[in-house]
Structure 1
């Protein structure tokens, strides 16, 4: 039991370290891992909503609030703001965090990997509006 507690504490420290002050290596690892997310989500200049919402400036955004994205009723009614901890939890098990949401990503990644994705997302600023036609 003690070994389990020590192991969980060490893992928590690793995740907390990535979230508190990510290194460039952690951000780069998150960028590579985010490739798994690009079938549904975009980031960067000109990012648009697709099958999933664009994720620029997601940290600090109210859940279910990206304009012009058709969220599930569960996420529309979520009453929290995305922070690093709940994003990591959502990446790991979206159904546990927001039951009834429509994200269907079967995560096989560790807490540390999910934290690295969040470290990368923290580097993605506000969305750029699409060009005027």
Structure 2
């Protein structure tokens, strides 16, 4: 019951870009991730656009877990992402990495991670960046 209430609260806070088509997005918790594999994936797949401590083409990732989506000061987000009322959680990061445009239509990230375990590994690594 608590999970249903939490999911409903997330949907109410989500705003545009979350509910698509005939139904709302299903929030899935990623499987357990491997931090070391996530760090290696981050180096090979993310660092062309992101850094841990500085903004590049994409925003810095230190402190991403729990941060408001589109809310890092000093980085210019798309209007759609800046207006989002989401927070970065394992579930929102999983949805984002799977298909950023489905999560927030109009965002600017043109990269997806199709493999669920790779998403989980990246999320496990990102959670260590406090």
**TM interval, short-chain normalised:** 0.7 to 0.9
Equivalent position of 1:104 in the other structure: 110
Alignment partner, residue 27 of structure 1: 35
Q: Distance in 2 between matches of 1:70 and 1:110?
A: 29
Match of 1:53 in 2: 59
After superposition, the C-alpha distances for 1:64-110 in whole angstroms (9 at most, x for unaligned) are 110110100010000111100110110111000011001111x2531
The structure 1 residue matched to 2:50, chosen from 41, 45, 52, is: 41
Q: Separation in 1 of the partners of 2:100 and 2:120?
A: 14
The answer to whether structure 1 residue 113 and structure 2 residue 128 are counterparts is no
Match of 2:71 in 1: 65
Runs of at least 5 residues in structure 1 that lack an aligned partner in the other structure: 1-11, 126-133
Distance in 2 of aligned mates of 1:85 and 1:111: 12
Deviant stretches of 4+, over 2 Å: none
**Matched residues in 1 for 2:42 and 2:58: separation?**
13
Aligned residue pair count: 102
Q: Distance in 2 between matches of 1:104 and 1:48?
A: 20
Q: TM-score, normalised by structure 2?
A: 0.74
Contact (CA 8 Å) 2:97, 2:113: kept in 1 or not?
no
Q: Which has the larger radius of gyration?
A: 1
RMSD: 1.5
